[in-house]
Amino acid sequence: MRLAVQVVDVDTCEPATGTWIDLWSCNSTGVYGGVLYYPGNGDPNVLSVINVTTLRGVQPTDDDGIAVFDTLVPGHYSGRANHVHALVHHDVTVEKNGTITGGHVSHVGQLYFDQSLLEKIEKTEPYATNTQTWMKNAADGLFSAGTAGGDDPVVRYAMLGDDIENGIYAWMRFGVSVDAVRRYNPAAYLDEKGGHQNPTGPVQPGGFGGGMGGFPAPPGRGGGMGGRPGGG
* pLDDT per position as a tens digit, 17-66: 899 999 999 999 999 999 888 877 777 778 888 999 999 999 999 999 99
Residues of the chain by 3-state class (helix, strand, coil), percent to 5: 15, 30, 55
pLDDT at site 213: 37
Q: Label residue 13 left, alpha or beta by phi (over 0 means left) and psi (-120 to 50 means alpha).
A: left
Cα angle for residues 49, 53, 57 (degrees, 5° grid)? 155
Question: What's the pTM value of the predicted model, to 2 decimals?
Answer: 0.88
Side by side, the strands of the sheet bearing 156-159 are 66-70, 2-9, 168-176, 156-159
Across the chain, mean pLDDT equals 87
CB 155 within 8 A of CB 113: yes
Q: What is the C-alpha to C-alpha distance for residues 56 and 67, in angstroms, rounded to an integer? A: 14
Span 144-151, average pLDDT: 89
**Do the strands 56-60 and 93-94 form a parallel or antiparallel pair, or are they unpaired?**
unpaired
Q: What is the C-alpha to C-alpha distance for residues 117 and 114, in angstroms, rounded to an integer? A: 5
Span 113-120, average pLDDT: 98
172 has pLDDT over 50: yes
Span 169-185, average pLDDT: 96
Q: Where are the beta strands (DSSP E) in 18-167?
A: 19-24, 56-60, 66-70, 84-90, 93-94, 100-101, 104-111, 156-159
Domain boundaries, the chain: 2-208
Q: Quick one: CA torsion of 86, 71, 172, 122, rounded to 10 degrees?
A: -100
pLDDT at site 39: 73
pLDDT at site 41: 79
Question: What's the CATH architecture for 2-208?
Answer: Sandwich (2.60)
pLDDT at site 149: 83
